[in-house]
């Protein structure tokens, strides 16, 4: 079963002209998902849900950073931490709504086997570190979801797979010294943000719980398939998470203006099939995917649909 989680408040974050991370990204995805007939969960209502999201954020992010972001939005500051992170009056509510949607998706997915959720939200999150906004990201939504699953739902092991074209430095940073979260990333390398070498494997208790699979510029479906089969799937199978989280960026698409890869729509569908099969084998089919990057707005909705068709396929290969 596949369900979509989204929130119109995510459209309230505005970017200046020339920024690629725009509300139209989310509109293009949600419109296409609605056309496909997948069930879309109504957004949460009320202060309690928003407060839960803020509380969950403050577990993962430095509370001083959370307060600094909130104050900067209230003051009407134009940026926070870098030129890649513009602020508008709706940034705070949009970032919290993204987290809230992901937490509700986790609540739903853990309740029954073979539940797959897609969280269609913005701004993205995987670059945000504990006390720093960067790369269009303010709160690390996928990391907050992982922590929430461990503590609210008492899961023992959670995996994060990040296939955005950019390395998820924030997600790695937040969990690299912990063994209960396994972080796997396939990404263009070398590329922004400069992290993600294969030698980065975590440290301390988390040594070996980080797997980076750097991909050469121009890599397409065949190269990614080899990486999945040789590195990603065996590692996830060994870790055997209780639930698989996916940072689903669609900027490895061959037409993306910010990436340099050559992945097709069929490639994303194949990834969805592979992950559905893996999840059925190791974590009762439970997957929560969260939208990250993807900046070719005319194609973004179709790419998300391709990936979700793969996830929702009736016939998947668990190998």
Strand ranges (E), the chain: 2-6, 39-41, 79-80, 82-86, 116-120, 158-162, 181-188, 210-215, 243-248, 287-291
153 tagged catalytic: no
Q: Out of 13, 127, 166, 173, which one is annotated catalytic?
A: 127
Q: Which residues 6+ apart lie within 8 Å of 282 measured at CB?
A: 236, 237, 240, 241
Query: Which pair of tokens denotes residue 119?
Result: 């969280």
3-state secondary structure of 76: coil
Tokens of 118: 């897609």
Residue 134: DSSP 8-state: B
How is the beta sheet containing 2-6 ordered, strand by strand?
39-41, 2-6, 116-120, 287-291, 243-248, 158-162, 181-188, 210-215
- Catalytic positions are 127
């Amino acid at each position: 079963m596949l369900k979509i989680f989204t929130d119109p408040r995510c459209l309230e974050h505005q970017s200046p002209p020339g920024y690629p991370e725009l509300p139209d990204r989310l509109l293009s995805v949600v419109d296409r998902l609605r056309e496909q007939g997948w069930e879309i969960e109504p957004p949460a209502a009320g202060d309690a849900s928003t407060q839960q999201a803020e509380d969950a954020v403050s577990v993962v992010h430095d509370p001083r950073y959370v307060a600094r972001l909130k104050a900067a939005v209230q003051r009407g500051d134009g940026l926070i931490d870098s030129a890649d992170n513009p602020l508008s009056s709706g940034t705070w509510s949009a970032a919290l709504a993204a987290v809230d949607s992901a937490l509700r998706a986790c609540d739903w997915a853990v309740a029954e086997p073979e539940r797959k959720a897609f969280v269609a939200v913005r701004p993205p999150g995987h670059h945000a570190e504990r006390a720093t906004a960067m790369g269009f990201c303010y709160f690390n939504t996928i990391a907050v979801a992982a922590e929430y699953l461990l503590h609210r739902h008492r899961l023992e092991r959670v995996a994060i797979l990040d296939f955005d074209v950019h390395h998820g430095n924030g997600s790695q940073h937040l969990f690299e010294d912990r063994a209960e979260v396994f972080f796997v990333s396939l990404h263009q390398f070398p590329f922004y943000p400069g992290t993600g070498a294969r030698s980065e494997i975590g440290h301390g208790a988390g040594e070996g719980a980080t797997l980076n699979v750097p991909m050469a510029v121009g890599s397409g479906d065949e190269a990614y398939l080899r990486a999945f089969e040789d590195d990603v799937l065996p590692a996830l199978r060994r870790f055997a998470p209780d639930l698989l989280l996916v940072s689903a960026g669609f900027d490895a698409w061959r037409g993306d203006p910010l990436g340099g890869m050559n992945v097709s729509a069929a490639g994303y569908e194949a990834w969805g099939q592979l992950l559905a099969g893996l999840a059925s084998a190791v974590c009762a089919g439970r997957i929560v995917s969260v939208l990250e990057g993807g900046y070719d707005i005319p194609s973004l909705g179709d790419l998300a649909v391709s990936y979700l068709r793969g996830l929702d396929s009736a016939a998947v290969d668990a190998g």
